[in-house]
Amino acid sequence: MRRETLRWANDAVELLDQTLLPHEVKYIRCDTVETLCEAIRMLRVRGAPAIGLAAALGMAMAGLQNTRKDSTGFIIEMENTSRQLAATRPTAVNLFWALNRMERIWRSERLGVKEKKQNLVNEACSMIEEDRRICRSIGKHGATLLPDPCTVLTHCNAGYLATADYGTALAPVYVAHEQGRTVSVYADETRPLLQGGRLTTWELHDAGVPVTLICDDMAATTLASGVIDLIITGADRIAANGDAANKIGTMGLAILAEYFNIPFYIAAPISTIDFGLENGSRIPIEERDATEVTHIRGNRIAPEGIGVFNPAFDVTPSSLITAIITEKGVHKPPFDVSLRESL
């Protein structure tokens, strides 16, 4: 059973609080921009597409709450809100894509303030429906790459919890499962926040897809055993040449895949591709709080006073990627050509 990751409800944003999973399924209501920003920063909502959708809903909410009746004052307040949301997570390009899309409405010179407010709500809700169609299209294209039977290895969480529907990396799995094919998943636990262990296993098990959890450092042995047919992960930002930023640990999997001659795929919507970046060296990498590494669920596991390096993402070179799956199809190298053709 796929649950809603986020939704528009009574002029506010409701989110499935992913920090409570798998122990508790609870929706939280964000009725101010401040509470929504906190939810994004604290990973109550996460996954590049879902972050973008949350930001779009946040701008719609801010529009309704904006009390300025003159266009200039309305725009100034919306600019402040957009900056607040933009500062929450620097790596996922979908956040900025969504904010830019909403900006075209609240900056419009041909719309009055009242029209802007309604159009912001309509646009945010339409983006959710659009993301559902995109997820299903990614799943349809990606499923053609899965043999029957098939065992997929994935990293972090790129299923419906990260989007409005099927997900990205898990979309081909869900499509194949619904087609009655034999498909199973191995999920890396994904330290330090265990998105694979907490979220991916939970949603796959909930959907009736066989799933096996492994620690991150078991991936090489698992691949060497021959049980894995292919690897699919999501992405938070893809450069024009195909270099892909995803949850920390993804690049290591890609290196292992090349060594063991196993196909390595990235699945993401076109909106995740940043054509303004020539390559992945320019992708900003978010560094998060040290306590995410030194603590698990509030319990300290490392000595006090040590140094901690906690990058949330790494960048997989395009040379290690077999293909990139988007809603437009399966794109193969050279990516600087195939990705631009998708436009």
Please identify every residue annotated as catalytic: 236
Under a CB-based contact definition with an 8 Å cutoff, are residues 231 and 154 in contact? yes
**Which among 124, 86, 2 has a CA at the least distance from the CA of 284?**
86
d(CA 316, CA 325): 15
Residue 230 is which amino acid?
Answer: L
**Which among 245, 246, 192, 233 has a CA at the least distance from the CA of 215?**
192
d(CA 314, CA 251): 6
The dihedrals phi and psi of 89, each to the nearest 5 degrees, come to -140, 115
Give the helix ranges, DSSP H, for the chain. Answer: 33-41, 48-65, 71-86, 93-106, 113-143, 171-178, 195, 201-207, 219-224, 250-260, 291-294, 335-341
